Amino acid sequence: MDKRKRKLLQNKSFLIVMVLLMTFVFAGCNNQSTTNEPLPTNTNEPVQSAKELDNQFEELQKVSAEYLKNNKPEYLTAEEVYQKVVVEADQSYFVVDVRAAADFAKGNIEGSVNIPYATAADPNRIANLPKDKKIIVVCYSGHTANQTVTLWKMLGYDAVPMLNGMGGWLSNPELGTPILKASFNYPVVTAEPKATTNNLPTIQEEGVFNVNDLIMKRSQAYLTSGKGPVVKPEDVMADLESKGNSFFVLDTRDMNDYKKGHIEGALNIPYSSVADAENLKKLPTNKKIVVVGYTGNDASQVVRVLNQLGYDSYAMLRGMRVWTSDAEINGIAPIQTETAGEFPVKVLNVDLNSSGGAASCG
């Protein structure tokens, strides 16, 4: 082949390669343009978002009823906590103190951490709780610890209160509510009041997409309301004597113990069935509901459930065991059989300014 023909073939091959190369380039450009072009939108259709929880009261009532049926109140004594946490240093326990930060600094159980009661429904605080340990909750008298236990257990944590709070750990009134030396021995009756039928509360929280969201929202609303957790037995008795009718008394003890003797006018709904829909209709939405249990631990758990459901509820401090010393009536030994443990505390050398406010049991 002469040089002229060879050159023509080379030029032809070059042109073919260039044409193919340009074809790929343009094709790539066209594809890129198509990819970046915005998709047409229908402005008449709303943007889809997560669906908020419907029938909030009904959903919360169901999980509340399940909680009370499946979680019989339990507790650890100060002696048990001292042995397991301090002496044995058992790492399967995690102690949370819900007293005000300033009181925690004055004296606390070795190894415990402080989450003030008013912040116990804070999602950030809850997220840091261990799910692989039993959480022992400590407060002043045991009442706010039980309320906190109720919230955390409903959210899936394994929590238990310490009986009598720091008042059972030692007898320093600056750190905990002292245990009463004797029962009041107020009168009891056996006559049972007739239950009435009331409307159920309504709940409508914004930004709630599941039951756990609703539980935390309702607890946060309660904790920031400024309501105290307890009513003293003396106040209940004073209201009875003056016929002030300020309180609706709910007795959550077993029916057999209730029938042996109870506070005048108290309606009996046993602990495990308080949150059943038909029983909730027996409770007023326009009065303060004072819940009376055996020790106050059980009553406080019911109180948190009721407040989350929209009722105005309080526990009677220390329970039926301080109303009467008759063990046949109160179902357990009277309060005067218990004493503080006088166990050691750790003092923080810092000044922590915090207040439990109306939410503390002190």
10-58, pLDDT tens digit by residue? 444 444 444 333 333 333 333 333 333 333 334 444 333 467 788 999 9
Q: What is the pLDDT of the chain when averaged over all its residues?
A: 86
Quick check: 209 pLDDT over 70? yes
SS (H, E, C) 161-201: EECCCHHHHCCCCCCCCCCCCCCCCCCCECCCCCCCCCCCC
Q: What is the pLDDT of residue 40?
A: 37
In this prediction, residues 338-362 reach a mean pLDDT of: 67
CA distance 219 to 191: 35
CB 345 within 8 A of CB 171: no
Domain at 56-342, CATH homologous superfamily: Rhodanese-like domain (3.40.250.10)
CB 298 within 8 A of CB 74: no
Q: What is the pLDDT of residue 50?
A: 62
The dihedral built from the CA positions of residue 26, 29, 35 and 37, taken in this order, carries a sign that is: negative
Binned at pLDDT 50, 70 and 90, residue 356 comes out as very low
* Angle of the 56-70 helix axis to the 143-154 helix axis, nearest 10: 110
Q: What is the pLDDT of residue 342?
A: 93
- In angstroms, the first-to-last Cα distance of the chain is 111
Quick check: 80 pLDDT over 60? yes
**Vertex 224, ends 96 and 305: CA angle to 5°?**
70
**244 class by beta-carbon count within 10 Å (0-12 exposed, 13-18 middle, 19+ buried):** exposed
Which of 268-277, 318-327, 337-346 holds the top average pLDDT? 268-277
Q: What is the pLDDT of residue 331?
A: 83
Quick check: 166 pLDDT over 70? yes
CB 193 within 8 A of CB 187: no
Give the 3-state secondary structure of residue 313.
strand
Binned at pLDDT 50, 70 and 90, residue 254 comes out as very high
Strand positions, DSSP E, 228-356: 230-231, 247-251, 267-268, 288-292, 313-316
In this prediction, residues 324-342 reach a mean pLDDT of: 85
Q: What is the pLDDT of residue 333?
A: 77
If phi > 0 it is left, if psi is from -120 to 50 it is alpha, else beta; for residue 296 that is left
Strand order in the sheet with 247-251: 230-231, 313-316, 288-292, 247-251, 267-268
Lowest-confidence range among 32-41, 99-108, 171-180, 261-270? 32-41
Quick check: 330 pLDDT over 60? yes
DSSP structure class, residue 73 = -
Which amino acid, residue 296?
G
Q: Which residues contact 282 (CB under 8 A, 6 or more apart)?
A: 195, 196, 197, 198, 267, 269
Q: What is the dihedral of CA 86, 88, 94, 96, to 10 degrees?
A: -20
CA distance 165 to 37: 66
Q: What are phi and psi of 91, to 5 degrees?
A: -75, 0
What is the distance of C-alpha 40 from the center of its chain?
47
Q: DSSP per residue over 196-259, as a string?
A: ---PPP----TT--SHHHHHHHHHHHHHTTT--SEE-HHHHHHHHHHT---EEEEE-S-HHHHH
If phi > 0 it is left, if psi is from -120 to 50 it is alpha, else beta; for residue 289 that is beta
CB 242 within 8 A of CB 223: no
Q: What is the pLDDT of residue 350?
A: 64
